[in-house]
């Protein structure tokens, strides 16, 4: 198949979980012999490159105050139209809503993969920005009749919110790169340190502030423990998120809270293999890529009772779930794992098996191709 993806955050340029997920899927489909193109708008000169068998087209972002979004949309629309006129494109997939504001042509079957829209992720946005984003998203969501949700939670919530009538719908989770995220080869190399690891954008939505409050409990209980934050650090209410977190943490405990900033995936994986526990008590998550990556490393994971958490982490089997609104619950789950090595081993082993069974490249690629065939037939 000739598959065209619309994505504005394809690696190695600055990206989040969406960019990573599209990269992993695109590479797997290219390995299977499919013709894959990813196009998007980026803050750089135009380029077209081949990355691991995937054709990546980066269009230069226009920066004109007030109308940039419209000009970029038109540029992408013209490129896609020309591509369809000159190539036999079998299917177009957009990521959330951005690309679909640029594309309304019905000549090619289209699908919208819902990773996480503003309906879920507006907790960190100013109210007026969240309102505008939701209006644009509603228009895009209603224009596409084939949806892939990365979790049941995403799909069901958006169906209920938008009241959209679909032709086809399915749930396909994001794939995990087990060539990067895997357990330590030697159990004896496990660190004697007690490291509680958080990886992801360090922000309120991801539970960073809840974890900081919990740290006042578990860092006192476990004097050798350290809390390590890995990830982008956006501002929080106009100030550094580090400052916001350290304001919450007891002064005597602050030297055991470490901020390492954004790191490449291989470094994140290294830290997961060093860590004792992984936790991200997120308030709003749509697939929880980083939970899955930690699970692939056989690390006991503490997820969230909210949104898609229970779909990813089976409470008491492949991890534990904590209420992000209760720092006491987060601290209690950390304490349970620290105090019970058998439980930690049990959760880690089950977590790894779960990832390989349901979230591997092969599983996700097969489900995606099956859905494409359904749409095209």
**For the chain, how many structural domains are there in total?**
2
* Domain co-membership, 244 together with 332: yes
Please report whether residue 54 resides in a domain. yes
Please report whether residue 77 resides in a domain. yes
- The per-residue pLDDT for 188 is 38
Please report whether residue 182 resides in a domain. no
- The per-residue pLDDT for 184 is 86
Give the relative orientation of helices 289-296 and 17-31 as an angle to the nearest 10 degrees.
60
| Torsion sign (Cα): 314, 317, 318, 319 | positive
> Do the Cβ atoms of 27 and 20 come closer than 8 Å?
no
Residue 125's pLDDT band (cuts 50, 70, 90):
low
Please report whether residue 181 resides in a domain. no
Least confident piece of the model among 31-35, 66-70, 106-110, 215-219: 66-70
- The per-residue pLDDT for 241 is 97
103 φ, ψ to 5°? -140, 120
Greatest mean pLDDT among 57-66, 286-295, 313-322:
313-322
* Domain co-membership, 161 together with 42: yes
Q: Which residues contact 219 (CB under 8 A, 6 or more apart)?
A: 225, 227, 249, 250, 253, 256, 257
* Domain co-membership, 354 together with 364: no
* Domain co-membership, 48 together with 101: yes
What's the rounded mean pLDDT across residues 78-103?
80
Q: Note the pLDDT tens digit of each residue in 322-333.
A: 999 999 999 999
- The per-residue pLDDT for 165 is 84
Q: Note the pLDDT tens digit of each residue in 148-182.
A: 999 999 898 888 888 888 899 999 999 999 999 99
Greatest mean pLDDT among 14-23, 93-102, 247-256:
247-256
* Domain co-membership, 197 together with 130: no
- The per-residue pLDDT for 117 is 60
- The per-residue pLDDT for 128 is 58
Identify the domain containing residue 59 by its residue range.
Answer: 2-175+360-376
> Do the Cβ atoms of 77 and 98 come closer than 8 Å?
no
Residue 274 in this model has a pLDDT that exceeds 90: yes
* Domain co-membership, 147 together with 162: yes
Please report whether residue 180 resides in a domain. no
What's the rounded mean pLDDT across residues 119-136?
58
- The per-residue pLDDT for 8 is 87
By percentage, how much of the chain surpasses pLDDT 70? 89
* Domain co-membership, 56 together with 146: yes
Residue 15's pLDDT band (cuts 50, 70, 90):
confident
| DSSP 8-class letter at 315 | B
* Domain co-membership, 79 together with 7: yes
How much is the mean pLDDT over the chain?
Answer: 89
- Compare 324 and 189 and report the one with higher pLDDT: 324
Please report whether residue 282 resides in a domain. yes
* Domain co-membership, 142 together with 18: yes
* Domain co-membership, 159 together with 211: no
* Domain co-membership, 226 together with 343: yes
Residue 187's pLDDT band (cuts 50, 70, 90):
very low
What's the rounded mean pLDDT across residues 133-162?
82
Please report whether residue 17 resides in a domain. yes
Residue (of 316, 325, 268) closest to 296 by Cα position:
268
Residue 68's pLDDT band (cuts 50, 70, 90):
confident
Please report whether residue 168 resides in a domain. yes
pTM score of the predicted model: 0.87
- The per-residue pLDDT for 133 is 64
- Compare 285 and 130 and report the one with higher pLDDT: 285
Residue 53's pLDDT band (cuts 50, 70, 90):
very high
Residue (of 98, 123, 135, 101) closest to 19 by Cα position:
98
CATH number for the domain that contains residue 148 = 3.40.50.2000
Residue 143 in this model has a pLDDT that exceeds 80: no
* Domain co-membership, 68 together with 14: yes
- The per-residue pLDDT for 98 is 54
How many of the other CB atoms lie within 10 Å of CB of 48?
11
Q: What is the spatial distance between Cα 110 and Cα 94, in angstroms, rounded to a whole number?
A: 8
Q: What is the spatial distance between Cα 85 and Cα 104, in angstroms, rounded to a whole number?
A: 15
What's the rounded mean pLDDT across residues 255-279?
96
What's the rounded mean pLDDT across residues 284-300?
94
What's the rounded mean pLDDT across residues 271-280?
96
- The per-residue pLDDT for 18 is 85
């Amino acid at each position: 198949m000739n598959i065209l993806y619309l994505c504005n955050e394809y690696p190695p340029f600055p990206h989040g979980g969406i960019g990573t997920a599209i990269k992993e899927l695109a590479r797997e489909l290219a390995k299977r012999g499919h013709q894959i193109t990813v196009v998007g708008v980026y803050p750089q000169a135009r380029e077209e490159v081949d990355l691991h068998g995937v054709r990546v087209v980066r269009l230069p972002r226009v920066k004109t105050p007030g109308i940039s979004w419209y000009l970029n949309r038109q540029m992408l629309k013209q490129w896609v139209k020309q591509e369809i006129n000159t190539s036999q494109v079998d299917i177009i997939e957009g990521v959330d809503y951005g690309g679909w504001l640029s594309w309304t042509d019905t000549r090619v079957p289209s699908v919208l993969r819902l990773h996480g829209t503003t309906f879920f992720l507006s907790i960190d946005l100013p109210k007026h920005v969240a309102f505008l984003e939701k209006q644009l998203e509603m228009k895009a969501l209603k224009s596409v009749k084939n949806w892939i949700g990365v979790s049941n939670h995403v799909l069901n919530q958006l169906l209920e919110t938008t009241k959209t009538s679909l032709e086809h719908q399915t749930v396909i989770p994001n794939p995990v790169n087990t060539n990067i995220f895997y357990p330590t080869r030697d159990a004896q190399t496990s660190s004697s340190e007690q490291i509680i690891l958080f990886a992801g954008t360090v922000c309120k939505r991801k539970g960073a502030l809840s974890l900081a409050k919990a740290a006042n409990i578990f860092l006192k209980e476990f004097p050798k423990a350290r809390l390590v934050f890995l990830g982008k650090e956006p501002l929080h209410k106009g100030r550094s998120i580090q400052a916001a977190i350290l304001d919450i943490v007891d002064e005597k405990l602050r030297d055991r809270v470490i901020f390492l900033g954004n790191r490449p995936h291989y470094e994140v994986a290294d830290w997961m293999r060093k860590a004792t526990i992984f936790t991200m008590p997120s308030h709003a998550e749509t697939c929880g890529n980083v939970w899955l990556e930690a699970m692939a490393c056989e690390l006991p994971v503490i997820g969230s009772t909210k949104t898609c958490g229970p779909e990813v982490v089976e409470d008491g089997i492949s991890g534990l779930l904590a209420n992000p609104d209760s720092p006491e619950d987060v601290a209690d789950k950390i304490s349970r794992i620290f105090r019970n090595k058998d439980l930690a081993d049990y959760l880690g082993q089950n977590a790894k098996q779960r990832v390989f069974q349901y979230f591997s490249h092969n599983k996700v690629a097969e489900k995606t191709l099956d859905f494409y065939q359904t749409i095209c037939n």
